Amino acid sequence: MNMITNLVHYILDEHSTRTGLRSQLNEMFFSNSTSDNSALFQVLTQLIPEELQQEWLEWISDGEKRGVPEGFSDSLPRVATTHLSPDDTCAICCCVYLEDSYPLVVKLPNCNHKFDLQCITLWLSKSSTCPMCRNDVMSSKTKIDTSMVELEEDWGMYG
Amino acid sequence: MTTLPKRIIKETERLVSDPVPGISAEPHEDNLRYFDVSIEGPQQSAYENGVFRLELFLPDEYPMEPPKVRFLTKIYHPNIDRLGRICLDVLKTNWSPALQIRTVLLSIQALLATPNPNDPLANDVAEDWIADEDAAIAKAKHWTALYACRPPPPSPTGPSETNN
C-alpha cells in the first residue's frame, strides 16, 4: 500500500506532469496485477483530477497496445551512411543524419521511414506507430522473436 | 533546468524566420519552452477578424509528448472549454513526434474554421451548436468581437498613431 501513498502524494503535487503520473500508474498497474486491481482503479480514478480522468480510463483500456516489445527497435534494419542524402533529417530530433560522423539510422518495416535509432526507440516504447505515417509497425509480417526477451526484467527495477 | 534540445531551438528559429501566415509564436525570454501564441481567426469563419491569444508549453518529454496548448482569449467554440482547453486529437492520443509547434498551431487554426460539435469538449456550447447552428455562430461572432478584437497590449515602441 506504500505505492498508493506515494501515488496520492504524487497526484497532489501540483508540479507533477502527466507523463510522470502515467509512469507511476504504469508501475502500479503491472506490479499490483493481483486480485484487487479493480478496486485500485476505482480509487485511482477518483484521485485523478477531473481533466485527467478520461485520459486515464483510455490509458487503462488500451494499456496493452502501447509500445513495442523490448528488443524490437534493436532488430530494425540499419540504413548505411552511403544511402543517406546530405539533407536527410530525422523527423524526431530534426537533426541532419550526416552531421553526425557515425549516425545510427534505422528504417521501419513496411513504410521504410527512417529515424535515428535512439529517437525511434524512445517513441516506440510509448507507441507502436510510425511518427510519419502512423502505420502500426507491429502489423508487419516480420514478427520478431520475443521469446528470448525477459519482459519482467524492466518492471523488476521498480518492484 | 536541462539544456534546450536542438529540435526546440530549430523549431523556434524557423517560427521566427519563416512564420506561418496568421500565426505567431514567441518564446518567453526566461523560459524558452513557454510560448506566447496568437492565431488569427480564419476568414469566413465565426472567428474572422479576431486575434486569439494562446499559451503553449513544451514539456520536458517533448517531442515524445505533445505540447500543452490553451486559449487565453475567451472563445465560443464547441471544442474549446471555458478554461481554454482544446479538444484536438493531435494534442492527445494522435500526437506524433514528427508533428511540430507549427503543425499543431495550424491544426488549431483549422479547428476554428471547422468546429466539430459531435466531439465536444464544451458540452453546453456543443448542444447549442447542434440545436441552432445559426444562433451559435452568431454568438461566436459576438464573442469574437467582444474578446478577440481588442487592440493588442501596448508595444514597447509606444502607441502608434491612428493613421491608415
Q: Which residue has the higher pLDDT, A40 or A39?
A: A40
The model's confidence at residue A147, banded by pLDDT at 50, 70 and 90, is low
Q: Which of A11-15, B104-108, B153-157 has the highest mean pLDDT?
A: B104-108
Q: What is the mean pLDDT of residues A126-150?
A: 74
Which whole number is the average pLDDT over A77-90?
94
Q: Is B95 helix (H, G, I), strand (E, B) or coil?
A: coil
Q: Is A85 on the interface with B (CB under 8 A)?
A: no
Domain A73-126 has CATH 3.30.40.10: yes
The domain locations on chain A are 2-47, 73-126
> Does B64 lie at the interface with A, CB-CB under 8 angstroms?
yes
Which domains, from first to last, does chain B contain? 6-148 (3.10.110.10)
Half-sphere exposure of residue B22: CA atoms within 13 angstroms, side-chain side: 18
Per-residue pLDDT at A139: 80
Tell whether B1 is within 8 A of chain A (Cβ). Answer: no
pLDDT of residue B161: 47
Enumerate the residues of chain A whose CB falls inside 8 A of the CB of residue B94.
Answer: 134
Element (H, E) at B137: helix B133-147
- B65 with A119: Cβ contact below 8 A: no
Q: How close B20 gets to chain A, by Cα (Å)?
A: 18
Could you say which DSSP state residue A136 is in?
A: B
Q: What is the ipTM of this complex?
A: 0.82
Q: Which band of pLDDT confidence, cut at 50, 70 and 90, is reported for residue A34?
A: very low
Note the pLDDT of residue A159.
47
Q: Which position has the higher pLDDT, A52 or B136? A: B136
* A113/chain B closest Cα distance in angstroms: 11
| Degrees to nearest 5, angle at CA A36 with A30 and A41 | 70
For residue B98, give the nearest of A17, A55, A131 by CB distance: A131
Q: List the single residue in B with minimal CA-CA distance to A113.
A: B98
Cell 492527445 sits on residue:
B92
- Name the residue of chain A whose CA is nearest to B10's CA: A94
Which residue is listed with cell 456550447? B125
Instruction: Give the global pTM.
Output: 0.71
CB-nearest partner of B59 from A17, A95, A129: A17
